[in-house]
């Protein structure tokens, strides 16, 4: 089991690292463009938190957005490619437990998400270095967020039968939930109805808790965010392991 996990995990990491120009450099460039455009337009007009420049406020949001999107992309694309090409059989035939399968794919996705997030931070911090009020909160939410989206990517990869379905999952669920989670704004700047809607978006709690680690300020209590994000991860993890155990769309 230990060797099987290491092999599968190594495959997942090597898979994205061999094309790092596409899987790492490209999303870092995208985040940099977001920063340049939004900070140039809104720096003088928006103060999300008292005493915090808009550029500094934006950087943690872009870092977390990159972590989430790339964690999802890694596990989902890996699994759908294996299903379409037929080489998924080489993963299913060895005596690997469902937990081993789950951990290897999710941890591989987490590595990619965290590597991209670190790259985004190193590039964007030249424009405005955020403070580090609570580094442990930063690390905790980065790990939880990447694990959640890695797990969600695994579920999407299991469910989808072709790339079009996976693209629909990403374009109509992941992207809107990410963009409407407070990456570019504080939800207190929204009308009441949209603030209420935002509280039903789990991505909001990931980004708000992550940003709290930098500034010590958040839209909701970080402990509430931690409880909800942890519960969401447990629920998704249990669901994905159940899908793996039943062989849903993997053994047919």
pLDDT in tens, 89-131: 888 888 889 999 999 999 999 999 999 999 999 999 888 888 8
| Over residues 41-47, mean pLDDT | 75
Task: Report the percent of the chain where pLDDT is more than 90.
Answer: 68
C-alpha to C-alpha distances, 44 to 37, 52, 54, nearest whole angstrom: 13, 12, 8
- From CA 182, how far away is CA 202, in angstroms rounded? 11
Whether 251 has a pLDDT exceeding 80, the answer reads no
pTM: 0.94
**Whether pLDDT at 144 is above 80:** yes
Q: What is the mean pLDDT of residues 201-227?
A: 95
State the pLDDT at residue 1.
53
Cα–Cα distance measured from residue 27 to residue 66, given in angstroms and rounded to the nearest whole number: 7
Average pLDDT of the residues of the chain? 92
- Amino acid 91: pLDDT: 86
The set of residues, in sequence order, having a beta carbon less than 8 Å from that of 58 and lying 6+ positions away, is 34, 35, 38, 39, 183, 184
Q: What is the pLDDT of residue 252?
A: 63
The mean pLDDT value for 135-154 works out to: 97
pLDDT of residue 142: 98
pLDDT score, position 41: 81
């Amino acid at each position: 089991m230990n060797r099987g996990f290491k092999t599968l995990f190594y495959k997942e990491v090597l898979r994205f690292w061999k094309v790092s120009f596409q899987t790492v450099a490209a999303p870092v460039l995208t985040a940099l463009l977001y920063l340049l455009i939004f900070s140039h337009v809104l720096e003088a007009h928006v103060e999300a938190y008292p005493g915090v420049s808009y550029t500094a406020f934006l950087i943690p949001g872009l870092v977390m957005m990159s972590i989430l999107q790339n964690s999802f992309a890694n596990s989902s694309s890996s699994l759908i490619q294996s299903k379409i090409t037929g080489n998924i059989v080489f993963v299913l035939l060895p005596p690997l437990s469902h937990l081993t399968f789950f951990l290897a794919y999710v941890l591989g996705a987490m590595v990619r998400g965290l590597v991209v997030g670190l790259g985004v931070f190193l590039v964007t911090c030249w424009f405005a270095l955020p403070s580090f009020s609570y580094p442990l909160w930063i690390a905790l939410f980065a790990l939880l967020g990447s694990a959640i989206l890695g797990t969600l990517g695994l579920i999407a990869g299991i469910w989808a039968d072709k790339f079009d379905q996976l693209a629909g999952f990403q374009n109509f669920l992941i992207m809107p939930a990410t963009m409407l989670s407070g990456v570019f704004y504080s939800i207190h700047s929204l009308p009441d109805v949209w603030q209420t809607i935002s509280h039903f978006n789990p991505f909001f709690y990931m980004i708000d808790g992550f940003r709290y680690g930098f500034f010590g300020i958040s839209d909701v209590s970080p402990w509430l965010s931690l409880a909800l994000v942890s519960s969401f991860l447990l629920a998704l993890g249990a669901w994905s392991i159940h899908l793996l155990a039943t062989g849903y769309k993997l053994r047919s």
